[in-house]
């Protein structure tokens, strides 16, 4: 879209950067809870443009990163079954469970395919009726309706070889749990633009009211992010925290009701374990009774993996901004970008992974980099 | 968590049967084309409108005006900020 | 010769079936006299100069893609490795490992492509080998090409020779090959505009070095890992820092859009027909114009500069004036949804 280029032009972003610097009166701590925000901030070098005094915390908004090891192990248990093909988003391929990742399983002979859409997994099931195709259904409220629509299509088509493992999570309860923690001192929240397209900007109102928290719903282009940050600083300055929708072209106050209905038709809320954070009530999605025949855990008799504390993992505290990565005993030794343990390192842009990169590689010990899959 | 990009709808296909021939949108940008599902779009787009796409689905339909309104607001803000900056002793 | 429709283990055993494959298929397309002699090795003659030697194996999936196939890729890739040290390619070898059951028609298509690429580049296949492995032991077809080249003593192009102040030039658009491959895998229709950029660069390099009086310090083709990873290698080896500007990077709009759609960064996607030229700042403009005049270098651009530094840091000045570090790629680029 030609318009998108404009949202990246210096003409628009430079004045915003300047105004942010001019408006900042005291140090502020702002959390962004969307992996795509983290990526965009990094990609456009936004941190390098912000004044000292703005601390940008990266929250647990990367569904891949917060998928617990027990779920990954369930995906792996399915992958090990000879008749099963795992069709998954690319993001999940290298995330480790207790010991292995899907990439590791593929290397050992499991069939693991990367898909761009859950519908592609469905198509695969139609093309290979002798295989059972399993889709690890991770994601937040932006992705959940796509999976719901896929389940409904599978039902209408009468498919018996398509399954999911429901691992989706929802934002509001998780945000509440985070903000309710007195240890976490956050002045403002940069709200995820596309989740908000689904749930509506008003979803953050209770959060803003209860915790006196400035909220800004922002899109993902640099101009969007900078507008969001500026809005937060102004709200903080004026002592009037509320919910400002800075992404009006995509987000409405009530959200997308069609998408919301899709979610509630197929899924029900449930308690859910977040990697590094523990169990947050009501923050997960499970298949409703009438769609249980698509439940991979049941249909493939996959044992529920025990909730496992990642020994020594301090991600919870890092996510809350209480610890810096080097303070974690596992950082740089047991936990590295190539062999991550907790979500902060699993994501390319998680706090620890980003820190690892920015602080430079101090040692020159030969890194065993896995050979990239061939493009030549 | 939600990589999604806007693309323009160049054709609407199917719709003959919700099961075997669901309605889909063909989107295009700079010569790249993709078929996009419409089950979760807030409204079905018309050809020429834009959709925000995530995981092969349209999550939001917008008119060019919607997009440009947002942009023009930002532009106007940028202009105002710039002109304010030029006033001596301007209060931030 | 009876045309078999698939390759069997017999074809690799050295017996009659092998002979038939060689005479009926390979020699039909690959016409270099040394190859036809079918000796155990090819004799190349006597040359004055430094001998350059390179090898590469090709396991690309899919085998056929817009703009090329595993065959043309294999020819161009090894030619380019020689060219990147300023060597004139003299000859190539071609070794195939074929999975039992591979389609004969596909093999023929690939060999024809190898022959076309070799002829167009003016570098002959002079020796070869074929093995067939049982079903399941190879993913269709693996290809290896090894190349011999000749480098004059006048030039000493090396990854260690970048100097602070040098200009960084890229010979054309980025990520074309990588996004072509990834898009095939993601089922995105590229609308005919995007295709692999696989092409030989030895003529471009030849022209460059013809004029050159030691101004060209580094040549490197940004294949796996893309521009970013390759710049990191150069910075590390040369003990310098490099800064490139996002605004200056030549990327086709369609490539950019496809990357956005599947969540890939074009700076980390493979290029198979491009080279990074690091040269003295005084000669940079002339070198850029020379490269642009050649068909292989039509979209060449000056993209950045080499700076003092010891950590081998590469950074990108973003479109909006920010700055970010470019690190080498760890593992393979993966499409993203989050």
User: Is C190 close to B31, i.e. CB distance below 8 A?
Assistant: yes
Question: Does residue B16 belong to any structural domain of this protein?
Answer: yes
Yes or no, beta carbons of A194 and B82 under 8 Å apart: no
Alpha carbons C150 and C148: distance in angstroms, whole number: 7
CB atoms within 10 A of CB A366: 6
Give the model's confidence band at A309: pLDDT under 50 very low, under 70 low, under 90 confident, else very high. Answer: low
- Phi–psi pair at A251, nearest 5 degrees: -110, 135
Q: Which residue has the higher pLDDT, A3 or C318?
A: C318
Q: Looking at residues A137-165, what average pLDDT do you find?
A: 96
Q: How far apart are CA A32 and CA B1, in angstroms?
A: 11
Sign of the torsion formed by the C-alpha atoms of A137, A140, A141 and A142: negative
Name the residue among B2, B28, B29 with its Cβ closest to that of C338.
B2
Question: How far, in Å, CA of C301 to CA of C171, rounded?
Answer: 7
Domain that holds residue B72: 5-86
Total number of domains in chain B: 1
The pLDDT score that the predictor gives to residue A352 is 85
- Taking a C-beta distance cutoff of 8 angstroms, is the pair A84, A132 a contact? yes
Burial, C1: exposed, middle or buried (Cβ in 10 Å; 0-12, 13-18, 19+)?
exposed
Answer yes or no: is B92 within a domain: no
- Looking at the DSSP bridge assignments, the partners of residue A203 are none
Q: Which residue has the higher pLDDT, C136 or A284?
A: A284
What pLDDT is stored for residue B88 in this prediction?
36
| CATH number for the domain that contains residue B34 | 2.30.30.140
Residue C121 · residue C202 · CB < 8 Å: yes
B46 found inside a domain: yes
Q: How confident is the model at residue A318 (pLDDT cuts 50, 70, 90)?
A: confident
User: For C304, what's the count of Cα atoms within 13 Å in the CB-facing half-sphere?
Assistant: 25
Read off the pLDDT band of B90 (50, 70, 90): very low
Handedness of CA A245, A248, A253, A256 (dihedral sign): negative
Yes or no, beta carbons of A91 and C59 under 8 Å apart: no
Contacts of B19 in chain A (CB under 8 A): 153, 156-157
Print burial letters for A192-208: b (CB count within 10 Å at least 16), e (below 16): bbbbbbbbbbebbeebb
Q: What is the per-residue pLDDT for C282?
A: 93
Residue pair B36/B51 in contact (Cβ under 8 Å)? The answer is: yes
Chain A residues inside the 8 Å CB shell of B37:
117, 119, 146, 149
Helix (H) or strand (E) holding A351, with range, is: helix A351-358
DSSP annotation of A141? T
User: Is B57 within 8 Å of B39 (Cβ atoms)?
Assistant: yes
Tokens at A169, concatenated: 């999570």
Partners of residue B5 in chain C, C-beta under 8 Å: 257, 260-261
What SS3 class is residue A273? strand
| Residue entry with tokens 């025949």 | A293
Whether the CB-CB separation of B7 and B51 falls below 8 Å is answered with yes
Determine if the peptide bond prior to C88 is cis (ω within 30°): no
What is the rounded end-to-end Cα distance, in angstroms, of chain B? 34
Tell me, yes or no, whether B27 lies in a domain.
yes
Q: In what order do the strands lie in the sheet with C167-170?
A: C216-220, C276-279, C167-170, C301-307, C241-245, C314-317, C323-326
pLDDT score of A347: 72
Instruction: Provide the whole-model pTM.
Output: 0.87
Is A374 in Cβ contact with C334 (below 8 Å)? no
Q: Indicate if the alpha-carbon torsion angle C31, C37, C40, C45 is positive or negative.
A: negative
**CB contact residues (below 8 A), chain B span 22-81, against chain C:** 28-34, 53-55
Give the whole-angstrom CA distance, residue C113 versus residue C91: 17
- Residues of chain C whose pLDDT is less than 70? 1-4, 187-192, 331-332, 335-338
All structural domains of chain A, each given as residue ranges with its CATH number in brackets, are 1-308 (3.40.50.11740), 315-358 (no CATH)
Closest among C160, C167, C152, C275 to C215, alpha carbons compared: C167
C-alpha angle A279-A330-A361 in degrees, rounded to nearest 5: 125
Which residues face C251 on adjacent strands? none
**Interval C276-315: pLDDT, tens:** 999 999 999 999 999 999 999 999 999 999 999 988 999 9
Chain C residues with CB-CB distance to B33 below 8 A: 188-191
Question: b/e string for B44-53 if b means 16 or more Cβ within 10 A?
Answer: ebeeebbbbb
C318/A contact by beta carbon, under 8 A: yes
Per-residue pLDDT averaged across A348-362, rounded?
67
pLDDT at A364: 29
Residue pLDDT, tens place only, B54-71 = 999 999 999 888 877 777
Of A183-187, B1-5, B49-53, C160-164, the one with minimum mean pLDDT is: B1-5
- Closest-CA residue in chain B for C180? B32
Residue B29's pLDDT is 83
Does residue A75 carry a pLDDT above 80? yes
Residue of chain B minimizing CA distance to C189? B33
What span, in angstroms and rounded, lies between the C-alpha atoms of A69 and A58?
20
What stretches of B12-63 show up as alpha helix (H) in DSSP? none
Instruction: Chain C: give the shortest CA distance to residue B91, in Å.
Output: 25
Predicted confidence at residue B11, as pLDDT, reads: 96
Query: Which DSSP symbol is given to C323?
Result: E
Closest-CA distance of chain A to residue B7, Å: 6
HSE-CB of C45 using CA atoms within 13 angstroms: 9
Which position has the token pair 């989107």? B27
Q: Would you say C242 and C306 are in contact if contact means Cβ atoms under 8 Å apart?
A: yes
**pLDDT tens-digit profile of A27-64?**
999 999 888 888 889 889 999 999 999 998 888 878 87
Residues C162, C231 contacting (CB under 8 angstroms): no
Instruction: Provide the 10 A C-beta neighbour count for residue C247.
Output: 12
Verify whether the Cβ–Cβ distance C61 to A374 is below 8 Å: yes
Helix (H, G, I), strand (E, B) or coil at A64: helix
What are the φ/ψ torsions at residue B14 (nearest 5 degrees)? 70, -155
Instruction: Tally Cβ neighbours within 10 Å of residue A346.
Output: 27
Structure tokens at C56: 């590469």
Q: Which of A1, A15, A63 sits opposite B1 (nearest CB)?
A: A63
Interchain proximity B31–C192, CB inside 8 Å: yes
- Average pLDDT, rounded, for chain B: 82
Instruction: Enumerate domains of chain C plus CATH numbers.
Output: 9-151 (3.30.1330.10), 167-326 (3.90.650.10)
Closest CA to C336 of A64, A296, A358, A351: A64
Out of C189, C193, C338, whose CB is closest to B1? C338
C95 near A CB under 8 A: no
Give the pLDDT confidence of A231-283 residue by residue, as tens digits.
999 999 999 889 999 999 999 999 999 999 999 999 999 999 988 788 999 99
Residue B89 confidence (pLDDT)? 34
Split at pLDDT 50, 70, 90, the class of A368 is very low
- Radius of gyration in angstroms for the set of CA atoms belonging to chain C, rounded to a whole number: 21
C-beta of residue C331 within 8 angstroms of C-beta of residue A369: yes
Distances (CA, A) of A310 to A278, A307, A330, A331: 10, 9, 11, 13
Question: Quick check: C307 and C281 in contact, CB under 8 A?
Answer: no
Lowest mean pLDDT among A3-7, A82-86, C157-161: A3-7
Subunits in contact with chain A (3 or more CB pairs closer than 8 Å): B, C
Instruction: Tell me, yes or no, whether B91 lies in a domain.
Output: no
Residue A9 has pLDDT above 90, yes or no: no
Does residue B19 lie in a domain region?
yes
* Residues in chain C closer than 8 A to B29 (CB atoms): 257
List the structure tokens of C240: 């310098």
DSSP secondary structure code for residue C26 in this structure = I
């Amino acid at each position: 879209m030609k318009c998108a280029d404009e949202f990246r032009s210096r003409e628009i972003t430079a004045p915003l950067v300047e105004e942010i610097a001019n408006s900042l009166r005291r140090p502020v701590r702002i959390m962004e809870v969307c992996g795509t925000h983290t990526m965009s901030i990094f990609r456009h070098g936004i941190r390098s443009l912000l004044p000292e005094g703005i601390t940008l915390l990266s929250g647990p908004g990367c569904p891949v990163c917060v998928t617990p090891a027990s779920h990954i192990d369930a995906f792996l248990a399915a992958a090990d079954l000879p008749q099963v093909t795992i069709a998954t988003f690319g993001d999940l391929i290298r995330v480790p469970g207790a010991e292995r990742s899907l990439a590791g399983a593929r290397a050992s002979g499991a069939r693991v395919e990367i898909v761009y859409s859950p519908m592609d997994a469905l198509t695969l099931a139609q093309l290979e009726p002798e295989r059972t195709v399993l889709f690890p259904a991770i994601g937040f409220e932006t992705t959940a309706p796509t999976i719901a629509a896929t389940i409904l299509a599978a039902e209408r088509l009468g498919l018996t070889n398509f399954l999911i493992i429901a691992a989706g999570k929802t934002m509001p309860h998780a945000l509440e749990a985070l903000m309710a923690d007195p240890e976490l001192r956050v002045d403002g929240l940069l709200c995820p633009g596309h989740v908000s397209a689904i749930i509506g900007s008003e979803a953050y109102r209770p959060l803003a009211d209860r915790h006196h928290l400035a909220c800004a719903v922002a899109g993902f282009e640099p101009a969007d992010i900078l507008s969001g940050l500026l809005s937060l600083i102004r709200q903080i300055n004026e002592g009037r925290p509320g919910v400002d929708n800075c992404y009006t072209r995509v987000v409405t106050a009530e959200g997308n009701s069609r998408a919301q209905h899709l979610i509630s038709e197929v899924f029900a809320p449930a308690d859910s374990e977040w990697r590094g954070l523990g169990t947050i009530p009501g923050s997960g999605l499970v298949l409703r009774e009438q769609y249980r025949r698509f439940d991979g855990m049941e249909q493939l008799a996959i044992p529920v993996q025990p909730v496992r504390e990642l020994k020594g993992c301090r991600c919870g505290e890092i996510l809350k901004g209480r610890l810096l990565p080097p303070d974690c005993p596992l950082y740089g030794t047991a936990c590295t970008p190539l062999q991550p343990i907790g979500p902060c390192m699993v994501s390319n842009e998680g706090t620890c992974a980003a820190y690892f990169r920015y602080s430079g590689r101090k040692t020159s010990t030969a890194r065993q980099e896995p050979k990239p899959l061939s493009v030549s | 968590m939600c990589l999604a990009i806007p693309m323009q709808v160049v054709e609407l296909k199917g719709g003959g049967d919700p099961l075997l021939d669901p309605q889909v949108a063909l989107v295009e940008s700079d010569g790249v084309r993709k078929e996009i599902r419409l089950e979760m779009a807030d409204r079905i787009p018309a050809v020429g409108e834009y959709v925000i796409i995530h995981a092969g689905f349209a999550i939001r339909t917008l008119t060019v005006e919607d997009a440009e309104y947002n942009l023009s607001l930002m532009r106007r803000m940028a202009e105002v900020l710039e002109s304010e900056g030029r006033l001596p002793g301007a209060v931030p | 010769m009876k045309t078999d429709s698939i390759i069997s283990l017999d074809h690799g055993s050295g017996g009659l079936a092998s002979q038939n494959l060689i005479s009926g298929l390979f020699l039909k397309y690959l016409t270099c006299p040394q190859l036809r002699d079918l000796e155990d090795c090819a004799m190349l003659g006597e040359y004055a100069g430094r001998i350059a030697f390179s090898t590469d194996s090709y396991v690309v999936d899919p085998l056929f893609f817009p703009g090329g196939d595993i065959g043309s890729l294999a020819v161009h890739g090894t030619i380019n490795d020689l060219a990147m040290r300023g060597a004139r390619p003299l000859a190539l070898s071609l070794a195939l490992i074929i999975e039992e059951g591979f389609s004969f028609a596909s093999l023929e298509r690939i060999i024809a492509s190898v022959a076309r690429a070799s002829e167009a580049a003016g570098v002959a296949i002079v020796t070869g080998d074929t093995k067939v492995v049982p079903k399941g032991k190879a993913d269709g077809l693996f290809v290896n090409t090894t190349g011999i080249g000749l480098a004059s003593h006048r030039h000493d192009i090396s990854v260690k020779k970048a100097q602070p102040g040098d200009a960084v030039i890229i010979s054309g658009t980025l990520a074309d090959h990588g996004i072509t491959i990834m898009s095939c895998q993601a089922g995105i229709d590229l609308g005919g505009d995007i295709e692999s950029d696989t092409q030989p660069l030895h003529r471009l390099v030849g022209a460059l070095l013809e004029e050159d009086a030691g101004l060209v310090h580094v040549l490197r083709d940004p294949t796996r890992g893309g521009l970013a990873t390759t710049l990191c290698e150069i910075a590390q080896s040369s003990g310098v820092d490099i800064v490139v500007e996002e605004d200056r990077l030549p990327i086709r709009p369609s490539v950019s859009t496809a990357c956005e759609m599947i969540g890939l960064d074009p700076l980390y996607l493979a290029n198979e027909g491009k080279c990074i030229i690091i040269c003295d700042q005084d000669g940079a403009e002339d070198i850029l114009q020379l490269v642009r005049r050649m068909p292989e270098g039509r979209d060449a651009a000056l993209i950045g500069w080499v700076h003092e530094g010891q950590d081998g840091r590469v950074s990108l000045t973003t479109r909006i004036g920010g700055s970010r570090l470019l690190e080498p790629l760890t593992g393979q680029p993966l499409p993203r949804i989050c």
